[in-house]
Every structure is written in structure tokens, then in C-alpha cells.
Amino acid sequence: MILSDEQLARYSRHITLKEIGVKGQKKLLAAKVLIIGAGGLGAPAAMYLAAAGVGTIGIADCDDVELSNLQRQIIHTTEDVGKSKAESAAETIKALNPDVTVKAFHGYVNSSNIAELIADYDFIIDGADNFPTKFLINDACVLGDKPFCHAGILRFEGQLMTYVPDEGPCYRCIFEAPPPKDAVPSCREAGVIGAMAGIIGSMQALEAVKYITDQGELLTGAMLIFDGLKMEWRKVKLPKSVPSCPICGESPTITKLYDEEQPSCSLL
């Protein structure tokens, strides 16, 4: 692959970085990232990955754009209200960077289709805001040997961790099963500051870029927690492995995908 003059100009700030350079930019242009959820987390992640020149970006979301989404879901505009989030996100990405091929999936992500959805991608972004989907993403990635970045936000707080096969714990290692229904409030119920979505979603994009270019340290074996009110970061060390994990432990009991429950369509 030879970069065109336009690409050399577009990605010049990447190419200047010794950690990226032309070689790293070519890796980004050849990479494929799937974002499950075109909402608060998926929106900034998608925009920064598109701007970075990730060659193929998949967007999966079953919802349509609502006016209340616009406080944090920056990939959508007022004119997009009523449109499929996946299609709205795809239009914004294409306008931002014509180098990017966008594949939009408007529908529920569930145990019957997620394995096929993730199969062709190099890295997965978890942009869901419900526990059934988060656990499903984890299970599909563990069984499919796919790396992914988990994140969650609520009120003024956010967290993220990255799973890479055989390099650290998975989501179920830390949170074995979803909490009881309604035990944890949703963003709709408890609220979330819009900028928190931008901070954490952008960090998910950074994790993807580091993985693709093989640079820096990923959040494998650690959970990064941010308190926006106190402006405090806390990095919690996680166990390298959890032998009792029901999906990646020594005697796994989860050997095929299933739906914890039918989640609501809302994705942050």
C-alpha cells in the first residue's frame, strides 16, 4: 500500500509520531473495527477511529436517533432525529473521512447473530449500556478469540478495560454475571454528563489504535476508573487470570452463546 499525497497530508500528525509513522498508518488503513452501539460511547469512538483512518468501521445499533441523545451522542445532529443510529453514524463517518468503508447494521445484537457480526473484525468496541449486551459481547469475543474494549459511564463516572485473548482477564472474570434487574440504574434513570461519554469513548478509540499499531500498554489486567467531579483517575490492577471464570477459566461452563435476557434497545 502506497499512501497518496492526500493521505500523507490527512494523517501527517500520525506519521510524525515515531510510534505510528507510515507503517502504523498503513496498519490503521488495513484494520477493521466493529462498534456495538452508536450512542454516547460509540459516537466519539467511531469519530476518532474514522479520523484516524481505520479502514473499515462496523456500526451496530438497533435504535433510532432521539432528541435526548444529542446531549452526548455527538455523531448525530438535530436533522438526524428519527433516523437509524447506525445509518446516521455511517453518514457522519463518510463525510468525515472518505478513506473509511462503513458497514451499518440496524438491528438487535443477540446470541444468534453476534458471532457472525464480529467474525471479520480485528477489534471490538463495547458501546452498550445494558448488562445483557455487555456480557454477550464478552462471551462472543472470548469464544471467538477477539480483543475488545469494555467501557461504562454513569453520572460523572466512567470505567474501561481491554480484553486480549490469553493476555488478561475477561469481563466475566471481574463481574461473573449481570446484577439483578433494576439493581443498577441506567443513564436514562440516573443521568450522565455528556462530556463523560466523550472522555471514555475516546479512550476506547485510543485502546483500539494502540492494539492495531502494537504500541504502548493496553488496559489488559487493569480497570481504569475516572471520577469527573473530583478529576481523579484510579487504575485498579486485576488478576492475570481467574481459574473459576465460567467462560475463560480452567473448567468453563459457558461453551456457547446465549442471551442473559432480551435487553432494551437503548445503547447509551
Distance of CA 84 to the CA centre of its chain: 19
Q: Give the pLDDT confidence of 29-82 residue by residue, as tens digits.
A: 999 999 999 999 999 999 999 999 999 999 999 999 999 999 999 999 999 999
Q: Please report, in angstroms and rounded to a whole number, the separation of the first and last CA atoms in the chain.
A: 37
149 counts as catalytic:
no
**Active-site hit among 141, 173, 187, 248:** 187
pLDDT of residue 185: 67
Distance (Å, rounded) from C-alpha 67 to C-alpha 76?
10
Q: Tell me the whole-structure pTM to 2 decimals.
A: 0.94
Domains and CATH numbers, the chain: 31-237 (3.40.50.720)
Strands (E) located in the chain: 32-36, 56-61, 101-106, 123-126, 148-154, 157-163, 222-227, 232-237
Give me the percent of the chain exceeding a pLDDT of 70.
97
Q: Give the pLDDT confidence of 217-257 residue by residue, as tens digits.
A: 999 999 999 999 999 999 999 998 899 999 999 999 999 99
Residue 104 banded pLDDT, cuts 50, 70, 90: very high
Neighbour count for residue 79 (Cβ, 10 Å): 9
Give me the percent of the chain exceeding a pLDDT of 90.
89
Statement: residue 181 has pLDDT above 70: yes
* DSSP structure class, residue 155: B
Tally: H helices and E strands in the chain: 10, 8
pLDDT of residue 261: 73
Distance (Å, rounded) from C-alpha 15 to C-alpha 9?
9
pLDDT of residue 267: 44
pLDDT of residue 268: 45
